[in-house]
Chains A and B, each alone.
Chain A
Amino acid sequence: AQSVTQPDARVTVSEGASLQLRCKYSYSGTPYLFWYVQYPRQGLQLLLKYYSGDPVVQGVNGFEAEFSKSNSSFHLRKASVHWSDSAVYFCALSGNSAGNKLTFGIGTRVLVRP
């Protein structure tokens, strides 16, 4: 069985501040991990993904995530947020590279205050 936990349902930050969104996973094998973002009235968009190698992966719009096998985590962060980063962020995992079934976390809603 596999699962993804995003412990923070909502996060509010001020523009220009740093942001970290937490993601913990449970999976017996080597996970393929993803962060997606969903803006209002739009579909999920891929921010970044991790399979192997450097545990810090860079994504779009200044986002990066760090994989930790020992902590079973894949936290997302951004050094300085903009109001346009207000959205819902989803962490997801797949059990293999050709996996069709993504297991998602419940999502974290981020509100960036001007």
Chain B
Amino acid sequence: VTLLEQNPRWRLVPRGQAVNLRCILKNSQYPWMSWYQQDLQKQLQWLFTLRSPGDKEVKSLPGADYLATRVTDTELRLQVANMSQGRTLYCTCSGRDWGVNQDTQYFGPGTRLLVL
């Protein structure tokens, strides 16, 4: 069974403060790891896919700024900053296999953020 851990699982974020999220593969190595985010009652939206340790990408969307880093073959990080006050955000990571199951993404349990 593929296992992705995420921490923290939830966080109250003071307005103006950034938060750092971690996603860790526990029992496998997937070349591609991705971040998705979801606002309350909206669609889950793809943010990034990073392939190699050292890869970084940034993105600014309405309501937050994102910085993703592939730290190692088994760890992916996401920094979320400048979130809008009162926003509830769910962030989840995924790992995608290669070979026979290259189409399938496995997801972590997610992190819920509430901006105060």
Contact = CB atoms under 8 A, between A and B. Distances in A.
Interface string B99-111: 0001111111110
B108 A97 contact: no
A44 B108 CA distance: 7
Nearest to A99: B103
A114 B33 CA distance: 39
Contacts of A73: none
Interface in A30-46: 32, 36, 41-46
Interface of A: 4, 32, 36, 41-46, 49, 51, 90, 94, 97-107
Contacts of A49: 103-104
A101 to B, nearest CB: 4
Given A43-B92, A43-B110, A104 B44 contact: yes
